Amino acid sequence: MLPEPIKKFIEIFSTLPSIGTRQATRLAFKLISSGRAKIDETAKAVDDLRYLKTCANCFFVHQNRDNLCDICRDSNRRQNIIAIVEKETDLISLERTKKFKGRYLVLGELSKTGVLESIQKLRLNHLKDWIKKQGGQAEEIIIAINPTTFGDLNASMIAKELSSFAKKITRLGRGIPTGGEIEFADEETLGQALERRI
Amino acid sequence: MLPEPIKKFIEIFSTLPSIGTRQATRLAFKLISSGRAKIDETAKAVDDLRYLKTCANCFFVHQNRDNLCDICRDSNRRQNIIAIVEKETDLISLERTKKFKGRYLVLGELSKTGVLESIQKLRLNHLKDWIKKQGGQAEEIIIAINPTTFGDLNASMIAKELSSFAKKITRLGRGIPTGGEIEFADEETLGQALERRI
């Protein structure tokens, strides 16, 4: 009953994160009813993503002529304090705090197998090589990976691998989120909050 | 900090229904990391929506050479039983039941002002003209508008306007949804379920 372009749209959009068939359908009709100009603009917005490059240093996206992203080019940032994140969106969240003045290494989403993928190994080796060239030890490496059971496992694996490459290897603090309630915190979180009391 | 194409993508996608800034950001990075072929395919899926036409009879989308959608062309469907819906997605939901063998009139989303927009008046007049040409009275008009306070208001307004154009004007049944629990039904729903007991 649905015309081919709508079926195709739904098929493609429902493979994207947290978009189901229903939302994809609603999106299609919303776009159609918004008219040709809106369709053009939206298609172009998708298409223009092709022009993005990956930073040769930290693997975040950029559009600069040389191979470095804005963060890695910024001489006001301390290049030898490195936060290792899984995803670009994690980097964005950390940037929003305006409290981190180092740079990043984007590792890519960790698989649930507990083994690093070859691209992730390459990126870690790339960091090691960079640190070697800079004198052998970074000031600090912050492993900013989600504090899940699975994330913890990966974090300690990475920490071990990088142990000789930084004066300090840290992870993000743990405890009750600001605005959270003790009554509703799970045991694990509350335990961590107690151990790391300030 | 974000390159222009990503900012633009987020700006455009976050205006779409139930996509916020966060989800738009996640979508952008997902597409970028899926590579150029996926970006192409997605941009094309959006762009191809431009080829859709609107049925001259019921205003649903189609891609046929003449001006009628598949439903309006279908000689197995009773053209003089008409369900009036707000949105294309409502039509799709009704089609999924496989229980309706008439045809539709897509009215477009009703504004919250309680007044029909000019395009909606045009569509209703179009239906009236069609019914006149067919002999003056449709078998049945089902006003399939959401049973909200506001939808009810619009429905009775439309019912009044069409009263002389159909032998029967109906609305969808009301009561407890299948699988629903009496304990958790709101008073209004339960009242309706009682009044319309079967």
Indicate if B20 and B84 belong to the same structural domain: no
Distance CA A6, CA A48 (A): 22
Indicate if B133 and B104 belong to the same structural domain: yes
Q: Is residue A145 one of the residues assigned to a domain?
A: yes
Residue B114 reports pLDDT greater than 80 = no
Task: For residue A37, give the chain B residue with the closest CA.
Answer: B50
Indicate if B98 and B12 belong to the same structural domain: no
Residue B112 reports pLDDT greater than 90 = no
Residue pair A108/A90 in contact by the 8 Å Cβ criterion: no
Residue contact A51–B5, C-beta within 8 A: yes
Residue B9 reports pLDDT greater than 90 = yes
Q: What is the longest distance spanned by two Cα atoms in chain B?
A: 66
Indicate if A64 and A106 belong to the same structural domain: yes
Residue contact B16–A2, C-beta within 8 A: no
Q: Compute the 3-state secondary structure of chain B and give helix, strand, coil in percent, each to the nearest 5.
A: 50, 15, 35
Indicate if B132 and B36 belong to the same structural domain: no
Nearest Cα neighbor of A49 from B194, B108, B177, B43 is B43
Residue B197 reports pLDDT greater than 80 = no
Q: Is residue B22 one of the residues assigned to a domain?
A: yes
Is this prediction's ipTM beyond 0.90? no
Please report residues of A whose CB lies closer than 8 A to that of B49.
Answer: 5-6, 9, 28, 31-32, 39
Which position has the token pair 């915190």? A185
Distance CA B140, CA B37 (A): 49
Distance CA A53, CA B66 (A): 46
Task: For residue B73, give the chain A residue with the closest CA.
Answer: A1
Q: Is residue B35 one of the residues assigned to a domain?
A: yes
Per-residue pLDDT tens for A72-105?
Answer: 999 999 999 999 999 999 999 999 888 999 999 9
Here the CATH number for the domain that contains residue B10 is: 1.10.8
Distance CA B100, CA B164 (A): 23
Domains: count for chain A: 2
pTM for the full model? Answer: 0.82
Mean pLDDT calculated for residue range A119-136: 95
Quickly count helices (H) and strands (E) in chain A.
Answer: 8, 6
Indicate if A10 and A101 belong to the same structural domain: no
Distance CA A113, CA B11 (A): 36
Indicate if B43 and B78 belong to the same structural domain: no
User: Which among B26, B51, B88 is the nearest to A29, CB-wise?
Assistant: B88
Per-residue model confidence (pLDDT) at position B185: 83
State the smallest CA–CA distance between residue A25 and chain B in angstroms.
Answer: 7
Please report residues of B whose CB lies closer than 8 A to that of A19.
Answer: 27
Q: Please count the residues of chain A.
A: 198
Indicate if B134 and B38 belong to the same structural domain: no
Q: Is residue B186 one of the residues assigned to a domain?
A: no
Here the CATH number for the domain that contains residue A79 is: 3.40.1360.10
Q: Is residue B56 one of the residues assigned to a domain?
A: no
Indicate if A35 and A64 belong to the same structural domain: no
The encoded tokens of residue B34 equal 């899926």
**Whether A35 contacts chain B with CB within 8 A:** no
Any residues with CB less than 8 A from the CB of B69 and at least 6 apart, and which?
A: B55, B57, B58, B60, B61, B62
User: Which among B2, B41, B70 is the nearest to A12, CB-wise?
Assistant: B41
Amino acid at A10: I
Indicate if B46 and B124 belong to the same structural domain: no
Mean pLDDT calculated for residue range B174-196: 83
Q: At A143, is the secondary structure helix, strand, or coil?
A: strand
Q: Which domain holds residue B147?
A: 66-171
Q: Is the dihedral of CA B65, B66, B72, B74 positive or negative?
A: negative
Task: Tell me which of A52-56, A79-83, A174-178, B124-128 is least confident.
Answer: A174-178
Q: Is residue A100 one of the residues assigned to a domain?
A: yes
Q: Is residue A136 one of the residues assigned to a domain?
A: yes
